[in-house]
Amino acid sequence: MKVIVCAKQVPDTNEIKINPETGSLIRDGVPSILNPDDANALEEALKLKDMYPDTHITVVSMGPPQAQDMLFECLAMGADEAILLSDRAVGGSDTYATSNAISAVIDKYKKEFGDFDIIFGGRQAIDGDTAQVGPQIAEKQHLPQVTYVVDFKLSDDKKTVTVKRQLEDGYEEIEVKTPCMLTCTKELNQPRYMSMKGIFNKDKKITVWSAADCEVDLSVVGLKASPTNVYRSFTPRPKGKGVMVAGDTEAEIAANLIASFKEKHII
């Protein structure tokens, strides 16, 4: 089987601080990591490879040259190869333009390696939290999609996938034929660590492609081709000391608290 995993290098948003004077993000010293949901996507591909050793896993990403660090980690976890689209022409892309660029990479992949069976992606990336790029790649590739995957099974003939798709109050069981695009959640599996063998394996390679290398249509990528633009950005106002809830009895205090919650749509 041929499997593609879409991965993104993201800043660890737990470590980000804001400069209160300028309201800008302080990125210095913030570690860059493999997006957590993408690690689950890769793990599910690796589990397939455990079961069917002839499975070939290609990790695809877009980003600056440093994103190779993240791809190296993917290879050390067990992926077979990685492709990074890195080009200023795709910088500033919103989700629409990003999916155009990644779809071009996948088209190029098909030309070089033939058809794939499954694309695994993370449900969403922790820097943007949009969950849009996965479905938009599926649309550009004319693939059926299942998002929020929490359980995955492949039929013996490897042609049909049965997944559980998480809902707010339960799940759906869905059957879909390959090729298809699946976006993975952290409930799906526990990503493995890099292996020593993986870390020291020098045979696996990361290929860096420019926009020209993968024949990206430059009119559909980058800042200018992005239908959404940032109008303004800002930090939420830091909160000051709050109020003491008034009331003569505990019941009155409780009623006033809940009334204030409702007025402010907290509940």
Partner 1 sequence: MSTNLADYKNIWVFAEQRQGKIMGVALELIGEACKLAKDISDETEVCAVLVGDGIEDLAKECFEYGADKVYLLQHPLLKNFTTDAYAKVMTEAMEVYKPEIVLYGATHIGRDLAPRIAARSHTGLTADCTHLDVSVAKYIEFAKANTTLDTSTLDPESKDTGLKMTRPAFGGNLMATIVSPRTRPQMATVRPGVMSKREREAGRTGEVIKVDVKLSEADVRTKILNIVKEAKEMVSLTDADIICSGGRGLGGPEGFKLIQEFADKVGGVVGSSRACVDNGWIDHAHQVGQTGTTVKPKIYFACGISGAIQHLAGMQDSDIIVAINKDPDAPIFEVADYGIVGDLYKVIPQIMEAWDK
Q: Residues 107 to 166: which contact partner 1 by CB under 8 A? A: 126-136, 138-140, 144-148, 162, 165-166
In the chain, what is the straight-line distance between the N-terminal and C-terminal CA atoms, in Å?
Answer: 49
Closest Cα to residue 184, out of 167, 171, 196, 166?
Answer: 166
| Nearer Cβ to partner 1 (22/202) | 22
| Nearer Cβ to partner 1 (5/137) | 137
In angstroms, rounded to a whole number, what is the distance separating the alpha carbons of residues 191 and 208?
Answer: 25
| Nearer Cβ to partner 1 (40/145) | 145
CB of 85 to partner 1, least distance (A): 18
CB of 242 to partner 1, least distance (A): 4
The Cα-based distances of 44 to 2, 51, 82 in angstroms read 13, 11, 16
What 3-state DSSP class applies to 95? helix
| Nearer Cβ to partner 1 (139/213) | 139
What residues numbered 49-88 form the site for partner 1, per CB under 8 A? none
CB of 174 to partner 1, least distance (A): 5
Q: Which of 193, 197, 227, 248 binds partner 1 (CB under 8 A)?
A: 227
Residue 218 within binding range of partner 1, rule CB under 8 A:
no
Residue type, 40: N
Q: Which of 1, 11, 32, 213 binds partner 1 (CB under 8 A)?
A: 11
What residues numbered 232-261 form the site for partner 1, per CB under 8 A? 232-239, 241-245, 250-251, 253-255, 257-258, 260-261
Instruction: Give the torsion through C-alpha atoms of 212, 87, 79, 2, to 10 deg.
Output: -30
86 contacts: CB under 8 Å, gap ≥ 6: 62, 63, 64, 65, 67, 208, 209, 210
What residues numbered 168-197 form the site for partner 1, per CB under 8 A? 168-177, 180
Residue type, 124: Q
